[in-house]
Chains A and B, each alone.
Chain A
Amino acid sequence: MIGSLLYILPAGGYSGGANSVVQEVSGFLAMGIHARIAVDEKNFASFSNAYASLPSVASNLHSYLGEASLSKLLAQYDNVVMTVATSVPAVISAWEKLSTESRPRLFYYIQDYEPLFFHKGTPEWHAARRSYEYPLIMQGFAKTDWICETVQRNHGLTVSRVKASIDHSVYFPLLNIKRTDTVIRVTAMIRPSTPRRAPRRTCRIMNRIADELGAQVSVHTFGCTVNELREAGLKLNAEVTHHGRLTREQVANLLRRTDLFLDLSDFQAFGRTGLEAMACGAVPIVTAFGGTNEYIVQGANGLATDVRYDEQILADVRAFCSLPESSRKSMYLNAINTAAKYSVTAACASILSVFLSG
């Protein structure tokens, strides 16, 4: 129908973007499409470990090192999808080395607006910006209006809109394990190594919630080791239970027991974990900056908040905690309902339509 398909993903795995590619490749495989992922040699071991539980993907990975090896790989496929901004120039350079007839069609799955990952003026920043500036060679697609509009506005590249997906075989609700007492379980992810994920704010707010709401809540964090917290000068109160680094199955298990999930990142292009929390039956409070309005219906299935204001975040948490049980239950169900719309099949179909139209 569309020929073979290769995703170039030079990353170590575990991130929302990598998860997304992996589950969509699984979806394509299930549809009978020959789809593979290529990881650069540096990240290969880490990536293989991260997705060891998905043998159909993990056992079929390609690895590449340098332009020649990448060119050789590109020539074997009909369609190639780039997924990381900083790698786009290298992929295009490798593609240009091929003869016209052996060049695959190039697509760019823009999962974030990556200039926001680097200081202005740095080589990485320039590379990230350049990745959007090959309109004649590649076609872009993205899963939120925010990404499409931001790229279009700043670089003139037309980006097609596709659907996002979450892995419902991992992220699913189990309402019978939700606590029946009045204690509200609040969970957040802390990633000290990524400032845009606002680890200091998250730590500060979780400590405040534990202190100010006391016995009304049970506060949980995950996403890094205790040592990583220490190195970043972060300290969680004794009342906060820190679960360390978790696999995605463990994350899902924690989210299933969660009532309120906080993602206090400065911005989120999509905010996958927020949606995964919804799929597990938790209500998210997420940053209002970026593309979270893709799935948040304010007050109905979650809350988008101006994360720059601690007091605003706490007011939203208090507001949720003071809701009657019946209203909270209705929000859990709305959240599950919203997340249910993000299936792998629907996402794959929307991406296929880009390939067919390209």
Chain B
Amino acid sequence: MSRKHHGHLDAFDGTIVSGWAYAEGMGYCTVDIFLDGRLVGRALADQYRADLKHANIGNGCCAFHFQIPEHALTGYPQTLSARHAGANQELIGSPIRVIGPPATVPPPAITSQLIRNAAFSNIINAAGPVTLGINKIAPGIWLEASRNAIGSATFTCSHFDGFQFSRLGNITPGIRVQAPIDGAHIRLFMELNLPDFVVLGPLTATFAIDRRGTDAPPEVKLGFGTVADGKFCGVWSRTIKRVIAGIQEHSFLIEPYVLQKLKEDYSAKRKPVTIFDIKGRFDIALSALHLLIGRTYSSHRDSIVAAFEDSIVAEQWEAIGTPKINNCTPPRDTAWAIDTVLDVPEIVVPVFNATKSVLDCLLSIFSKTDIPYLLTVVDDGSFPETSAAIHKAIGNSPWCRIITGQNEGYTVAINKAVKSSVGSTIVILNSDTVVTSGWLTGLLRCLRSDSKVGLAGPLSNAASWQSIPEVKDKMGWAVNRLPADASPDNMAEHLRLVSKPAYPEVPVLNGFCLAVKREVFDVIGVFDELAFPMGYGEENDFCLRAADAGYTLRVADDVYVYHHKSKSFGAKRRSSLSDRANKVLTHRYGAARMNGLSKQMEKCGPLNDLRHTVQAAMERAGHRGEE
């Protein structure tokens, strides 16, 4: 058994043979079934079995069951063999000796095979010949052949986005090239649409090849370069020396300089292109090329088997002119493409319903954040309307991801995001906030003001000790509604004008907007989701653990983030959660330390001074009433 192919022939019950077959990085496997060396059928290993999933074999969807045609069983001992189609390798446990019931009907000719979902088998010949020189086959796609009558090309995809970040739209694999003569050489060029956003870190190029036929394996080279005046200038390439038969997925790492170089050349009026350089005698189909942020992209593996089941539908769907799907939520990856840390902050927004507040929050992030960032929205089991609104707001932005799941509570939601995050700084932001211009830059400035700073938080209208201008009122913690004629940005501007950033050190920070250096999570772990599953108390516990580990906590006293204040729970439930959290914290850290926190915060000179100044500035500005 080769390194990549796995499988087992599990059972034969007299008529049905069962087992599983799986190949890393490839689509569903096909298994050839032989009786006494004669092919009697072909089974697709695409069915689900819980035991396979629990054994971590694929995602469990690689089982097959195949009913042996009655006429093939003689009633005498026979050799039953199951082999990986294409690779022609026996599954483990195969062959076996079997005795089936004798045939009761005369054997018809074996003409049909069980091929129902071979992902690429749908591309049939509607091909045009490829002639010497340039052959334009679709807008932005052309072939260059080394000689005349070299073969044919089929193009079935009306939109081929060479820089395809989203899987949506990649409805069918696009191109099949056939060159049935020895020594053929075809170069396939596709115009490349460069992204207009900054790409940090490496990319992975992923595509699939389906090679048919039994000729000697051809060579395929993937490259990027530019074209001007009919001349190609290569920037980067990788070669697959021998393309094996069947469907296979290939991934190559592309360092950022490649993209940078293409962009430079693009501005110098050279056209960036992707090139597939194919040599040998071949019949291959190529899928759309995906360029994905990051070093690896394991979640992409599923996409190769994501297809229509009926090859007839797959073959024609796009051609009939309705490639777009209807109003469904597009699939989005929940895993970042990166397995290393990127030097960009990652904003984490846990969401549970309250569509309007969430949209306000996301919109403010999009419009008020002036540096590159990653955004992770954790949809903690919201109603479909909220989920749909989040997907719509985020669209296909590759720097954003959505983690969806059942409602498991605030703390579980943020931990889920933190555990799979890749940003160098994690900024946890409640979904009932509105950020203001320059907020993220300000938070990072505070966080980087000293190597010991581990956590930073902004000022707000409603963030307990970080509230301005009032901390408390007769109802408890002040909410400081904005004056009717003021916006969060006005408040941020007032603050910037009067604040002389001192970044005061504090013992705890409010969790509504909390910037945390990644190393803090590495040292003290994530939030305690067992003790504080629904939120309330988890940030105080986290702050105290960070302080105990030697990190300092500072307030970014020149940054303002507006807080609508808790939309997820009613006042009664909030109070009960808060009481429970206080009990746990007192038990953990002692009453003296917990009581001391309030006193320390009350006496925080720079914050108290700032509150007075802000109040005075607002009065001077003559803001009227509350909103």
Contacts and interface: CB of A to CB of B under 8 A. Distances in A.
B308 interface: yes
Contact of A306 (B50, B310, B328): B328
B313 A299 contact: no
A120 B124 contact: yes
Nearest to B50: A211
B326 interface: yes
B67 interface: yes
Interface stretch (A47-55, A66-74, A96-104, A194-202): A194-202
B65 A233 contact: yes
A203 B67 contact: no
A293 B326 contact: yes
Contacts of A237: 50
B306 interface: yes
Contact of B317 (A201, A208, A289): A289
B326 A198 contact: no
Interface string B269-299: 0000000000000000000000000000000
B549 interface: no
B313 A196 contact: yes
A35 B308 CA distance: 39
Contacts of B315: 119-120
B321 A150 contact: yes
A319 B321 contact: no
B320 interface: yes
Interface string B36-65: 000000011011111001000001110011
A306 to B, nearest CB: 5
B44 A233 contact: yes
A290 B326 CA distance: 8
Nearest to B315: A120
A305 B405 CA distance: 17
A308 B320 contact: no
Of B306, B308, B314, the most chain A CB neighbours within 10 A belong to B308
A266 interface: yes
B329 interface: yes
Interface string A283-303: 000001110110010111001
B48 A204 contact: yes
B321 A195 contact: no
B325 A288 contact: yes
Nearest to A331: B384
Interface in A284-338: 288-290, 292-293, 296, 298-300, 303-306, 308-312, 315-316, 318-319, 322-323, 327
A309 B325 CA distance: 13
B116 interface: yes
A298 B388 contact: yes
A305 B302 CA distance: 17
Interface string B202-234: 000000000000000000000000000000000
A230 B16 contact: yes
Contacts of B18: 235
B480 to A, nearest CB: 33
A198 B314 CA distance: 12
B313 A266 contact: yes
Contacts of A207: 47-50
Contacts of A195: 116, 309-313
Contacts of B311: 119, 195
Contact of B309 (A200, A311, A322): A200
Of B44, B50, B329, the most chain A CB neighbours within 10 A belong to B329
B47 A310 contact: no
Contacts of B313: 116, 195-196, 266-267
A299 B321 contact: no
A235 B49 CA distance: 10
Contact of B48 (A199, A208, A323): A208
Interface residues on A, range: 35 or more
B35 to A, nearest CB: 16
Contact of B326 (A115, A208, A292): A292
Contacts of A231: 67
Contact of A315 (B43, B116, B404, B407): B404
Of B15, B116, B388, the most chain A CB neighbours within 10 A belong to B116
Contacts of A208: 48, 60-61
A235 B306 contact: no
Given A233-B44, A305-B328, A319 B312 contact: no
A292 B383 CA distance: 21
Interface residues of B, number: 59
A146 interface: yes
Given A119-B124, A231-B67, A318-B406, A154 B320 contact: yes
B497 interface: no
Nearest to A299: B384
A121 interface: yes
A148 B116 CA distance: 29
B114 interface: yes
A234 B325 contact: no
A35 B315 CA distance: 39
A148 to B, nearest CB: 12
Contacts of A167: none
A290 B313 CA distance: 11
A211 B168 CA distance: 28
Nearest to B299: A311
A120 B306 contact: no
A150 B320 CA distance: 7
Nearest to B381: A322
A198 B66 CA distance: 17
A201 B47 CA distance: 8
B523 interface: no
B44 A323 contact: no
A235 B327 CA distance: 32
B367 interface: no
Interface in B515-569: none
Contacts of A299: 383-385, 387-388
A319 B316 contact: no
A316 B379 CA distance: 13
Contacts of B15: 230
A200 B331 contact: no
Contacts of B310: 195-196, 198, 266
A85 to B, nearest CB: 14
Interface in B368-419: 381, 383-385, 387-388, 404-407
B307 interface: yes
A319 B384 contact: yes
B320 A201 contact: no
A149 interface: yes
A306 B330 contact: yes
Nearest to A206: B48
Interface string A242-268: 000000000000000000000000110
Contacts of A117: 312
A121 B125 CA distance: 9
Given A200-B117, A298-B384, A310-B61, 4 more contacts: A116-B312, A120-B316, A299-B384, A306-B328
Interface of B: 15-16, 18, 43-44, 46-50, 53, 59-61, 64-67, 114, 116-117, 124, 126, 167-168, 302-303, 306-317, 320-322, 325-331, 381, 383-385, 387-388, 404-407
23 contacts: A150-B320, A154-B320, A196-B312, A198-B309, A200-B44, A200-B116, A204-B47, A205-B48, A207-B48, A207-B49, A207-B50, A230-B15, A230-B16, A233-B114, A235-B65, A267-B317, A290-B326, A299-B385, A299-B387, A304-B325, A309-B167, A311-B302, A322-B407
Interface of A: 113, 115-121, 146, 149-150, 153-154, 195-196, 198-201, 203-205, 207-208, 211, 230-231, 233-235, 237, 266-267, 288-290, 292-293, 296, 298-300, 303-306, 308-312, 315-316, 318-319, 322-323, 327
- Which 9 pairs from chain A and chain B are nearest by CB? A299-B384, A288-B328, A195-B310, A322-B406, A198-B309, A293-B326, A196-B310, A211-B50, A312-B331
